[in-house]
Amino acid sequence: MESVSKKLSLVVLVSCVAVAAPGPEAAAKAELKRVTARKGDVVRGKETYQAACASCHLDNGAGQPDGTYPQLAGQHPVVVLKQLADIRAGARENAQMLAPTQALGEQELADVAAYLKLLPIPRDNGRGEGELLDDGLALYKRDCLSCHGRSGEGNAKSATPVLAGQHFKYLVRQATEIRDGTRKNANPKMMDAIKGYTDTQIVAVADFMSRLVMPELPKPAKQK
């Protein structure tokens, strides 16, 4: 009887631990809170980025025009950190990114995000054929502008990503996955906004978004 009692106690203990363990979304949210509280070091961030990320996303953070890897330069740090935390916790499935991101510490993540923010957004990104730009503009104004901004500048406070300079094919792929519900960590507002889009509408708005250009920042005045 004692042996049976011990086994039952062990089962109960394991069950309690399993129930208490946070799910992927909760774990990602907790890590995001911790890592955004850290101050990123740009110098260390460059070193880490070159060692762990540049082989795919390129030295200048431009990614690949064929959409296999997104453009990261100029992105809001909180956006980068949210996606990394989601991937590390399993809240967003990305087999190619899982091992590289899990190999980094939380301070290294903060450093990389700070470094990427300072990289200039390239203007030679991959774009569509340009045949549906009027339709894309209308869709963007109706469904996207209020969150992503007139120039695709996004919003750091709401963790809304910069779209300016992003590759057309990457935008098409992500929008399609969000519409179809296969990207697990998608923003519910975006899911609702594009759930009725046809493939043609996704192509149209993605082509328009890929042509958004961030305004040049004013140059600092020369000291007299």
The pTM assigned to this predicted structure is: 0.86
Indicate the pLDDT class of residue 13, thresholds 50, 70 and 90: very low
Whether the predicted pLDDT of 15 surpasses 50: no
- Kindly give, in sequence order, each residue whose CB lies less than 8 Å from that of residue 31, ignoring residues fewer than 6 positions away: 85, 88, 89, 106
pLDDT at 10: 47
Architecture (CATH level 2) of domain 123-214: Orthogonal Bundle (1.10)
pLDDT in tens, 189-203: 999 999 999 999 999
Whether the predicted pLDDT of 65 surpasses 70: yes
One CATH from 3.30.2130.10, 3.40.50.1970, 1.10.760.10, 3.30.1490.20 for 23-122: 1.10.760.10
pLDDT at 60: 97
pLDDT in tens, 108-162: 999 999 999 999 999 999 999 999 999 999 999 999 999 999 999 999 999 999 9
Domain(s) labelled CATH 1.10.760.10 in the chain stretch across: 23-122, 123-214
Whether the predicted pLDDT of 6 surpasses 70: no
Sign of CA dihedral 54, 60, 64, 69: positive
- Report the percent of the chain where pLDDT is more than 90: 84
Tell me if 72 sits within 8 A of 165, measured CB to CB: no
Cα separation, 195 vs 185, whole angstroms: 15
Tell me if 119 sits within 8 A of 73, measured CB to CB: yes
